Chains A and B, each alone.
Chain A
Amino acid sequence: MKVTKPAFTMLSILTTASLLAACASSPADPSPTPASTASPKADDMNKKYAVKAMTILYGNPPAASGYGIQAINDRYNIDFQFNSVPSGDYNNKLATAFASGNIPDITLIEDSTQTFYNYAEAGAFLPLEDYIKDYPNLSKIPQDVLDLMTYKGHLYGIPRIRAASNWVLSIRKDWLDKLNLPMPTTYEELTNVMKAFTENDPDGNGQKDTYGMAMSYASGFISSVAAFTPTKVMPFQSWVEDGKGGILPGWAAPNGRELVKLVTDWYREGYISKDFVLMKSSQSEEDFLLGKAGIHGDFAFNAYSPERLNKARAANPDFQWDVVPPLTALDGTEGSYSLGSGFYGFNVLSAKAGSDEGKVRRLLQILDDQMNASGIVPFGDGEEGVHFTNNADGTKSYTSLGNSERPGLYLMTNPIPEGDFLINPSLPDEIKQIQKKAIDTALSGTPYKDASLGVISKTKIDKGEELSKFLLDGVVNIIVNGEPIDNYDLLIEEWKTRGADQMIQEMNESYKAKNAK
């Protein structure tokens, strides 16, 4: 085949030109500049702004236009476009939005990871520290939570506050009563209760079809977490203080060894399911609700829902759940449950929006308004009769129209959980009681937060997940194979040589530096 000279030159010109076309000018501005001038506090509500927002969607998407959007447009005098992205692919969507230079005006960021810091460094977000004090509800946000989304002295995010109370241990009260057992207070008593649940037929049906505690591993972490947090062993990549001024992660915590030994015994005796390694957390929850297991530790207070109770009662009308106070830790010290980080996700404002002072004020006004419980909750429900109906027992039901277009589906943040907004007043009394008990129990004693919040380490970012998986797999192996507990020490040694040593060192340095000031 002969390629003629002109054709060849044409082709090379074309290909080079197309290569160069890819080098478009970089979309993002390099330097973050907060609107520096002393700005008027009043926001001219007569000006209509176009506001684009993006957040994660966990359920069915709301309508793209309709009553809710209209109501929001009227309330804030904006032209609102609401993008809800399915939760699994949110990070990809965020990456593409950032790359194209079009981050929506208000965007939700799930967590302060390295990606967040990179974007902040590149100047994608508007610094907010000068504005917070002008808004009543935004100022109520605790400073230590705000510190978690501060980078190089600038505050970039407004967190969505969540109740700090976290997972508690649940137990079948009716089984305890049937077998005349008291509520367990130590791990030894817990083991006895689990033994009784497994061997003494607590559901009275004459068959040995029940077992002690519902555990699972297939969802990526060893659960029931609330069975382990009282002795300071936390799930995921959370860290606890080691009592010597430093911090350690997950199952490598000081009490980890004892706990692994205990769980190995549980597995051997059959107090936990032999299949727990294959079960997902939804399956272990089903085991508890449907009457196969008597103890479960993955519920936070708002997991005690009417739906779960109805599901359990449909299978067993005698089902009674109760909350177990935190067990005494394995080293004898007082046990307490772990706390959440206090927020879930935070909203950032795009740097582009920052060019218009009035718009920034409007956006913050919107966020502040949505944190005011007495104002936003009735607004979110929509119109009575159309979007919701009030039932005789005081609860509220949403109509199908309500589930697709009431204003509450388009909110970017929520009020601080306290009072009426903490426990939904429209819940049945029985549910309200157990939720309150769960909250009080979770906060009793000296509950502790993840010690690694706000502590940065390069090795943790690079290898944290892989190291954590390695450790968990090793622990589960010991449990399932009934290996002697000395293998745990070998596991920890190996884990350290794989990079955990480096990670622990960096984390501890960072931790000490953080607490020094």
Chain B
Amino acid sequence: MFSTKWSYRIFDGTNILLLLGFSVLTFIPFLHVFAMSFLSLDNAKEFQRFLLWPTQWDFTSYQYIYDTRIFFSSLKNTVWITVVGTLINIAVTSSMAYSCSRRSFSGKRWIMLMVLFTMLFNGGLIPTYLVVNGLGLIDSLWAIVIPSAVSAFNMIVLKEFFEGIHESILESAKIDGCNDLGIFFRIVLPLSLPALATFTLFYAVANWNQYFASIIYTNSSDLWPLQVLLRQVVMVGQSDIFGAIDLTAPPPPPLSIQMATVMYTSLPILLLYPFLQKYFVKGMTLGAVKG
């Protein structure tokens, strides 16, 4: 990997330095958020400094968020949306992308045009709401998962990827007696693990961050996902002018509540990345096609 020619060495070195620099630059604010989330009222002075590592390990802010009545139910809702939603997303997107990638599919052009159309134009909030209402999905978690089952952009990219799988591999499977469904599940999907892993990640993050759809389509606070709850907590922490909560103990400082919120929001989905790392492998099909 490291060449011996000195010009290449310099290039490699600068490359590594710049990349390291940028990663550190991106990582420092996150570290700061992590540090600030552990501050409590006693350390008011610390708020003025730019901390990189917690000076104390005070879990009051985390506890404050954890203590809200619906913390567990909203965590459950978010996990449900992420897991079920991503499964539906990947299943629908990959099957649609695969069918649109087959040359023998006659309606392909029209379907792709329609998909492209939805990427450029959107009905807007009210028509979408009317559709979801008409389907009877209002006030249920399915309203968050089903209408957004396919992201047009993801589908198009996945279709391109499937088109890149050489026809001869599939033909050889057909010769061996595999039907179309078998080809899809046994050949195409395993070969596309990098792409699938990528899109799983995209969809999972989007589902985890789901906020707006749940406010619009659900009426009960029992169906709130974590993001909505966290936003409410941040707002309550920031102002008690409306006397929303009468507390015997003063709430933690608004800033550390916000930081704890950020940690709650980002850590779980961040932990997803290492598990998907191993799928980002290239070159699985190298050498499979000769000539």
Contacts and interface: CB of A to CB of B under 8 A. Distances in A.
Contact of A61 (B41, B224, B241, B247): B224
Interface in B212-254: 212, 215-216, 219-222, 224, 228, 231-233, 235-236, 238-248, 250-251, 253-254
A83 interface: yes
A307 B251 contact: yes
Contacts of B134: 24
Interface stretch (B104-112, B184-192, B283-291): B104-112
Contacts of B222: 64
A85 B125 CA distance: 17
B44 A59 contact: no
Interface stretch (A126-134, A245-253, A364-372, A398-406): A398-406
B246 A398 contact: yes
Contact of B236 (A60, A83, A314): A60
B216 A303 contact: no
B133 interface: yes
Q: Which of B212, B233, B241 is most buried by chain A, counting CB atoms within 10 A of its CB?
A: B241
Contacts of B247: 307
Nearest to B212: A89
Nearest to B228: A86
Contacts of A480: none
Which of B221, B224, B241 has the most C-beta atoms of chain A within 10 angstroms of its own C-beta? B221
B69 A60 contact: yes
A115 interface: no
Given A86-B231, A87-B235, A96-B216, A59 B127 contact: no
B99 interface: no
B245 A59 contact: yes
A310 B239 contact: no
Contact of A1 (B109, B242, B245, B246): B109
A290 B127 contact: no
B118 interface: no
A268 interface: no
B41 A93 contact: no
Given A11-B110, A24-B130, A100-B133, A59 B215 contact: no
Contacts of B243: 302
B107 A99 contact: no
A84 B221 contact: yes
B233 A83 contact: no
A60 B257 CA distance: 14
Interface string B177-219: 0000000000000000000000000000000000010011001
A192 B260 CA distance: 41
Nearest to B109: A1
B68 interface: yes
Interface string A34-74: 00000000000000000000000111111110000000000
A83 B216 CA distance: 12
Interface in A274-325: 282, 286, 290, 300, 302-303, 305, 307, 310-311, 314-315
A96 B238 CA distance: 28
A292 to B, nearest CB: 9
Contacts of B224: 61
A388 B130 CA distance: 43
Contacts of A92: 125, 212, 215-216
Contact of A89 (B68, B127, B215, B235): B215
A99 B216 contact: no
Contacts of B41: 311, 314
B144 to A, nearest CB: 14
A61 B228 CA distance: 11
Contacts of B216: 89, 92-93, 96
B42 to A, nearest CB: 7
B183 to A, nearest CB: 22
A10 B68 CA distance: 55
A57 B239 CA distance: 13
Contacts of B240: 305, 307
A96 B129 contact: yes
B248 A397 contact: yes
Nearest to B68: A60
A343 to B, nearest CB: 14
Between A83, A96, A100, the greatest number of chain B beta carbons within 10 A of the residue's beta carbon is seen for A96
Contact of B42 (A81, A86, A314): A314
Contacts of B248: 397
B281 interface: no
B241 A302 contact: yes
B129 A100 contact: yes
A95 interface: yes
B244 A59 contact: yes
Interface string A1-41: 11100010001000000000010100000000000000000
B171 to A, nearest CB: 20
Contacts of B253: 286, 311
A7 B221 contact: no
Contacts of B44: 290, 314-315
B70 interface: yes
Interface in A373-423: 396-398, 400, 403-404
Contacts of B127: 22
Residue in B42, B44, B243, B248 whose Cβ sees the most chain A Cβ within 10 Å: B44
A286 B256 CA distance: 13
Contacts of A95: 125-126
A204 interface: no
A182 interface: no
Contacts of B47: 286
A88 interface: yes
Contacts of B68: 60
Interface in A74-123: 81, 83-89, 92-93, 95-96, 99-100
Given A58-B235, A60-B236, A404 B246 contact: no
A205 B1 CA distance: 60
Contacts of B246: 396-398, 403
B125 A310 contact: no
A350 to B, nearest CB: 15
A307 B240 CA distance: 8
Nearest to B222: A64
30 contacts: A1-B109, A2-B106, A3-B107, A11-B110, A22-B127, A57-B221, A57-B232, A58-B242, A58-B244, A60-B69, A60-B70, A60-B232, A60-B236, A84-B221, A86-B235, A89-B212, A92-B212, A92-B215, A95-B125, A99-B129, A99-B130, A282-B239, A282-B254, A307-B247, A307-B250, A310-B250, A311-B250, A400-B69, A403-B245, A404-B69
Given A1-B108, A3-B107, A86-B235, 8 more contacts: A59-B244, A60-B70, A61-B224, A64-B221, A86-B228, A93-B215, A99-B129, A403-B69
Q: What are the 7 tightest A-B residue pairs by CB atom distance, in nearest-first order?
A: A59-B244, A61-B221, A96-B129, A99-B126, A59-B236, A404-B69, A83-B219
